[in-house]
Amino acid sequence: MKNPIRETLAAGRASIGSWLNLASPLSAEVMAAAGFPWLVVDTEHAPFDLQLVAHTFRAIEARGAIPLARSWDQDPVTIGRLLDAGAWGLVFPHVSNVEQAASLARAMRYPPDGTRSMGTGRCTTISPDYRRDINAEVLCIPQIEDMEGIDQAEAIASVEGVDIGFLGPSDLALSMGVEAGHPNHEAALQRFREGCKRAGKPSGIPAGDAESALRRIAEGFQFIDLTNDLRFLESAARQAIAAVS
């Protein structure tokens, strides 16, 4: 088994996916069929239970895309259950330091590389060699959302088993007491990107539209979350009703 996201990033290319916040397997299938190569099931902010997560993973896979998830916490039990359900990688919100990042990276992998528990889950249907291969293919993606994490960006990205550094710009702005786009906020985003680059790891960031995504790619960000299913629906609905009103 090979993770195509990992291969794209290793080749130095940008990988553009999206987020799922409608808690709908059908929405996930539509997004994957539209051409997104990976989709993140947002269990932090959207009303997904674990069974719905598994159904959403199936919908993503059915259209040839890679399912990821944003975990609702950093508990090793949660991590194991999301991976057992079939996630090829996990985004972890509110990671601020090296100790957190190292613990998460180990919780995602089977011994001897980590502490993940072995069991019979849906994940074992992905490949007959799942347990042998997944440690090298799974993606550990800490999300930095405060200045402590920005200050430690290079150290966090350098942790063995951390694969991508990802930003949470909105919560970062809240923690800084400024609006997103403020010069100090933008400077922090770029400090993070530069820290990941020094560590030899790709950096990621959400982008609200195609123009923003292209700008971030030009700056050097590689792992791009191009908005989410809820925002795509909202935007199209607003445009349509405005056009006929």
Tens digit of each residue's pLDDT (9 = 90 or more) over 40-83: 999 999 999 999 999 999 999 999 999 999 999 999 999 999 99
For residues 86-115, give the mean pLDDT.
Answer: 98
CA distance 116 to 76: 8
Burial pattern 199-216, b for ≥16 Cβ within 10 A else e, equals bebbbbbbbeeeeebeeb
> pLDDT per residue over 215-226, tens digit each?
999 999 999 999
**Mean pLDDT, the chain, whole residue set:** 97
Q: What whole-number percentage of the chain has pLDDT above 90? A: 98
What is the predicted pLDDT for the residue at 25? 98
What is the predicted pLDDT for the residue at 236? 97
At 93, which amino acid appears?
P
Count the domains in the chain: 1
Q: What is the pTM of this model?
A: 0.96
Question: Which residues are known catalytic residues?
Answer: 45
Query: What is the CB-side half-sphere exposure of residue 15 using CA atoms within 13 A?
Result: 22
For residues 104-122, give the mean pLDDT.
Answer: 96
Query: Measured on CA atoms in the order 106, 62, 3, 163, is the torsion positive or negative?
Result: negative
> pLDDT per residue over 163-210, tens digit each?
999 999 999 999 999 999 999 999 999 999 999 999 999 999 999 999
What is the predicted pLDDT for the residue at 117? 96
Domain region containing 39: 4-244
For residues 2-25, give the mean pLDDT.
Answer: 97
Please report where in the chains the tokens 């947002």 appear, as a residue: 42
Alpha helices in the chain (DSSP H): 4-10, 25-34, 50-62, 76-84, 98-107, 130-137, 147-151, 153-158, 169-176, 183-199, 210-219, 229-244
Task: Indicate left, alpha or beta for 100 from its phi (over 0: left) and psi (-120 to 50: alpha).
Answer: alpha
- Angle subtended by helix axes 25-34 and 50-62, to nearest 10: 30
If one counts every other C-beta atom within 10 angstroms of the C-beta of residue 35, the result is: 10
Q: Give residue 1's pLDDT band: very low, low, confident or very high (50, 70, 90).
A: confident
Instruction: Quote the DSSP letter at residue 139.
Output: E
Q: Find the radius of gyration of the CA atoms of the chain.
A: 17
Q: What is the CATH number of the domain that holds 169?
A: 3.20.20.60
What is the predicted pLDDT for the residue at 122? 96
